[in-house]
Amino acid sequence: MNVIDGTDLTTSHDDDFDVVVVGSGPAGAAAARTLARSGARVAVVEEGPWVEPGDFPADGFSAMSKLYRDMGASVMMGRPPMPVLQGRVVGGTSVVNGAISWRLPKDVYDEWVRADPALDDALGWHRIEEALDEVESDLSIGPTDPTISGANNALLAKGADALQLAHRPIRRNVARCRGLGRCLQGCPQGRKMSMDQSYLPEACDQGAVIFSSTRVEQVEVRSQRATGVVAHAAGGGRVRLGAHTAVVMAASAIQTPALLIRSGINHGPVGDHLQCHPGVSVAGRFGEPVRIWCGATQGHEVIGLRSEGLKFEALGYDLPIAAMRLKSIGERFRDELSTLDRWCQWGAALRAEGAGRVRPAGTRTRVRFALTDGDMVKLRRAVQVLGEMLLAAGAEVVTPGVFGWHERVRDADTMASFGKGGPLDPRAYTLAATHLFGTCRMGSDPRRSVVGPDFGHHRIRGLYVADSSVFPSNIGVNPQSSIIAFARLCGERVLAAS
């Protein structure tokens, strides 16, 4: 690939392109591929390094240090504070996620259109569906192969059956997956169709250039038009990349609004309306080995409560992180380590009603988010169902991990009582924030949105936003495929306007 390593840029570097894309994850890669295939000269600027699959660390903590933003310890402040997991590597979060691939739900799209009918006129459900078809074909998306699924995923199916909840193998963007359980550390064999193994090489084959280990610090604007970016390379050099046609922001729903505000581009609700999918997990110990570090990292899901804003997934971790999540200390922790191969971890993602905001704070970014009372009822329901499924699948003991409630549960009646008797104080729960949306949301009204239905900024010509910050709300399911489809549409709009 055409990769310029920012660690080698020790002096000033200036260049000009037709389009500069900020970010190399699903949105940036998809936009860059669409633009480069049309003949545009494209630069992709990525803060993280280029890493070959064979160099992905085997253990989770080393992977977090090398491939994640802030070692996976970025925090969304609120009650409770939640870590935010984002990749910081060429290919973005697609390198370190579970490869889960959902289509945009039609009911979510209909919500958006009811609130702003102009979105349907500009986007069109049929075009989104066509784009999603193309994404699924490009990335070999299909159900998890049962031969590599592993015991963790099979037990989730068993528990869902017992509770009569609809479930299915997860559709994933993989090619000949061998079930190594390494998705969250980066697939060492390049079998996950992450952006570093798919769209970015294609874009480079068409002439695109990737600047790795290079942090964009400012979007340049002259006469109300985006003209390029100024960046700082890891080697110390100043990098200035001109953009004759457009600058496309694809740095995530946190980094994109922060960079726009730092650049003085603060029109509209930029950085506001942050939404996400808070995630909670519950563990259970079985009588036989499960080995959650083997098989598809996330190969099965329960979709029977999606109408309630809940989706459940099997979670796979390497040994150190699996041990950390036992949530015990001292002699109990020692004893549980001896049975580590018998523990399962399952999680639930909430389509939360809560909202937050993103603001730059010096060279860092301050993120706040608040759960609603309704979210807390939904969260309590999620923990109840997770525990019930574990027990129904045969777990000997369940650890809900909720402060102030039973540390260990062994019977279904006690677990069922959590649905009404469990705490509603957010501080009782350990959550993580995934799937971020809405901070540069799309809309026809410039007073209530940052970009128009054509992905173009309402005030700054030649400035586009392609990532999930344009989504009017969260979508309740894993957004990667939808992000890619929208970024392709964004690329087409850039070409149409040029």
Beta-carbon neighbour count of residue 399 at 10 Å? 24
DSSP 169-197: EPEEEBSS----S-GGG--TTS-B--GGG
Amino acid at 444: S
Tell me how far apart the alpha carbons of residues 335 and 329 are, in angstroms, rounded to a whole number: 10
The distance of Cα 225 from the centroid of its chain, to the nearest Å, equals 30
The distance of Cα 435 from the centroid of its chain, to the nearest Å, equals 4
Element (H, E) at 285: strand 275-285
Beta-carbon neighbour count of residue 361 at 10 Å? 9
The DSSP letter of residue 469 is G
Element (H, E) at 210: strand 209-212
Q: Which residues is 249 bridged to in the sheet?
A: 22, 465
Q: Which residues is 279 bridged to in the sheet?
A: 349, 432
Give φ, ψ of 431 to 5 degrees. -125, 160
Given the residues 167, 232, 300, 435, select the one marked as catalytic. Answer: 435
Tell me whether the omega of the peptide bond preceding residue 320 falls within 30 degrees of 0, making it cis: no
Element (H, E) at 141: strand 141-143
Nearest to 280 by CA among 307, 318, 253, 315: 315
435: annotated active-site residue: yes
Q: Dig out the tokens for 411 from the structure.
A: 């019977």
The DSSP letter of residue 409 is B
| Kind of pairing between the strands at 225-233 and 238-249 | antiparallel
Active site members: 435
